[in-house]
Amino acid sequence: MAKRSKRYREARSRVDTDREYGVDEALKILKSCKHAAFNETVELALKLGIDPTNSDQQIRTSVGLPHGTGKSVRVAVFAEGEDADAAADAGADVVGSDDLIARVEDGWMDFDVVLATPAMMRKIGGLGRYLGPRGLMPSPKNGTLRSDIGKGVEEFKAGKVELRNDSGGNLHVPVGKISFDSSKLEDNIKEIFTSLQSIRPPGMGHGFFRKAVLTSTMGPGIRLKV
């Protein structure tokens, strides 16, 4: 096991590993820890009681965080004509059609989110081998395949995040920066739980949220009451 830094060990000593904390108390602990020189990201990790091999139980949606993530999001858009103009006006970092397809095929992936209009799917279908492994292929389930492309760009630029389980039924979601007021971080966390609750698979009760851990980039993991 890698040796932990003195800062991490001091932070870890503040956490009772046998306890589950309320969100407000967990945030107080994170904020009381000595932080790195950069503005650390606060992340929520969730273990869900889903069967990831069952298509009816897979989680893939997006949620607009009330206070954003504090991160500058690079948005690429596949669109043509008026849709391309709308995406550019809304602040997309790069907008294109055949030219953008060629760049991606050549290995360019300098973006965090990919949006597309339905009319573009016939052209970008072949990009699945490049975008798919990174979970970036546009889809109506997470709001990245849409007709109102300008609005989509604005939402993701403002802090909309994707909720998508991995093969183990886990989710990892940024909820803001350590510099955020605790109330803003708590609002963002509650919005994620509310969004997930609204798409909970039928018949799944209290076992949906198995485990929740709140952490910062260099800080300790703190178990939350779920």
pLDDT in tens, 139-191: 998 899 999 999 999 999 998 998 999 999 999 999 999 999 999 999 999 99
pLDDT of residue 111: 96
Q: Is the pLDDT of residue 18 over 70?
A: yes
Residues 6 or more apart whose Cβ sits within 8 Å of residue 213: 44, 45, 46, 221, 222, 223, 224
pLDDT of residue 7: 61
Residue 137 vs residue 34, higher pLDDT: 137
Residues in the chain: 226
pLDDT of residue 157: 94
**In the structure, what pLDDT confidence band is assigned to residue 17 with cuts at 50, 70 and 90?**
confident
How many Å apart are CA 84 and CA 44, to the nearest integer? 34
The CATH number for 15-68+161-223, chosen from 3.40.50.620, 3.40.50.150, 3.40.630.20, 3.30.190.20, is 3.30.190.20
Partners of residue 45 on adjacent β-strands: 172, 213
Q: Is the pLDDT of residue 135 over 60?
A: yes
How many Å apart are CA 59 and CA 43, to the nearest integer? 18
- pLDDT mean across residues, the chain: 91
Q: Where in the chain is the domain with CATH 3.30.190.20?
A: 15-68+161-223
Q: Is the pLDDT of residue 20 over 60?
A: yes
Q: Where in the chain is the domain with CATH 3.40.50.790?
A: 75-157
**In the structure, what pLDDT confidence band is assigned to residue 9 with cuts at 50, 70 and 90?**
low
How many Å apart are CA 126 and CA 105, to the nearest integer? 9
Mean pLDDT, residues 187-209 taken together: 89
- Domain 75-157 adopts which CATH fold? Rossmann fold (3.40.50)
Q: In angstroms, what CA-CA distances link 210 with 46, 58, 139, 224?
A: 8, 15, 27, 11
Question: What are the backbone angles phi and psi of residue 118, rounded to the nearest 5°?
Answer: -55, -35
pLDDT of residue 55: 87
Contact 47, 210 (CB under 8 A): yes
